[in-house]
Amino acid sequence: MEKTKLSLKTLTRLSLYYNITCEYIENEKEYITSREVAKRLRIDDSQVRKDLKFINATGKTKVGFETSYLKKMLETNLNFHIKKDVFIIGAGNLGTALAKYGEFKHYGLNVLALFDNTPEKINHEIKDKKIFHISKLPEMAKKLNVNIAILTVPKIAAQDVANTLVDAGIKYIWNFSPVVLELPDEIKVWNENLAASFVTFSCQEIYRQE
C-alpha cells in the first residue's frame, strides 16, 4: 500500500475538497458528486475524479462519493493524524493570528510556543501558548524536538532570524516574510509571500480580464 507522491497542485485541490466535504457533512448531505465539487472550484469534473483516484477513494455510480467516507480518506491521505509540532517566530499580529487560528488543529498542526525579541511580550500567553525570547529557541527546539518554524518577523529581520533557526536545527520554514531567503539546500522553505500572492491575484483577475 505505497502512497505515491502527489503533486503540489493535487494536494492543494484535495485540501479544498476536504473543506467542501466538511461543509456537506455539516449540512447533513450524505453524498457529493465530482460535478458538484468541480462546479464550486470552477474546474473540470474529471479532474476531481482523477485526484480522488490518486488517494484510492471510490464513489458510487449514479450517487457520487459518500461524504463521511470521503472526509476520512482525505484526512488519512493528507496526514492529518500525524502531529506536526511547530514554533511561531514573531509574535506580531500575523504570528498572533496564526497562533489563535483554531482551524489548524484539524490538520495536525500544533503550535507549541511563540518567540519574539520584544521584552514586553516575553512570558505573555496567546491561547495557552507562551511567548519566549528568541534566544531560548535553540535549547527549546532540541528539548521539544521541533524542526518546523513559521516565520512572521519583519522583512528587515527575516534573513538573520532564518539563519538562527537553521543553526538551531530547524529544517522546515513556512516563510511569511516578503523575502526570498538564502539558505542551505537541505532546508525546505515554503514561501507564503502575501504581497506576491496579491500581485498574482490582481494581474490575473483585475487587469487582464478578457
Partner DNA sequence: TAGATTGTTAATCGATTAACAATC
Of 191, 106, 100, 189, the residue nearest 148 (C-alpha): 189
Report the Cα 159 to chain-centroid distance in Å: 21
143 binds, among DNA, its own copies, none (CB under 5 to 8 A by kind): none
Binding mask 4-33 for DNA (x = CB under 7 A): ---x-xx----------------------x
Residues 6+ apart with CB under 8 A from 199: none
Helices (H), 117-209: 137-144, 155-167, 194-205
Q: Does residue 76 interact with DNA by CB under 7 A? A: no
Tell the smallest beta-carbon distance from residue 19 to DNA (Å): 17
CB 48 within 8 A of CB 17: yes
Kindly state whether residue 62 participates in binding DNA, applying the rule CB under 7 A: yes
Please say whether the beta carbons of 51 and 40 come within 8 A: no
Binds its own copies by CB under 8 A, chosen from 100, 124, 130, 142: 100
* Cβ-based nearer residue to its own copies, 75 or 136: 75
* Residue 101 contact, options its own copies, DNA, none, Cβ 5-8 Å cut-off depending on partner type: its own copies
Element (H, E) at 91: none
At which residue does the C-alpha cell 490582481 appear? 202
**Surface-to-core class of residue 146, CB atoms within 10 Å of its CB (0-12 exposed, 13-18 middle, 19+ buried):** buried
- The reply to whether 46 sits near DNA by the rule CB under 7 A is yes
Measured from the Cβ of residue 102, the count of other Cβ atoms closer than 10 Å reads 7
Is there binding between residue 31 and its own copies (CB under 8 A)? no
| Given 20, 22, 25, 35, the residue binding DNA (CB under 7 A) | 35
From the list 3-11, 84-92, 170-178, 202-210, the region that binds DNA by CB under 7 A is 3-11
Q: CA of 192: how far to CAs of 91, 97, 125, in Å?
A: 17, 15, 25
Binding site for its own copies (CB under 8 A): 3, 5-6, 8, 11-12, 14-16, 18-20, 23, 40-42, 78-79, 82, 84, 92-94, 96-98, 100-101, 103-104, 106-109, 148, 155, 172, 174, 178-180, 182, 185, 188, 190-208
Binding site for DNA (CB under 7 A): 7, 9-10, 33-35, 43-47, 49-50, 52-53, 57-65
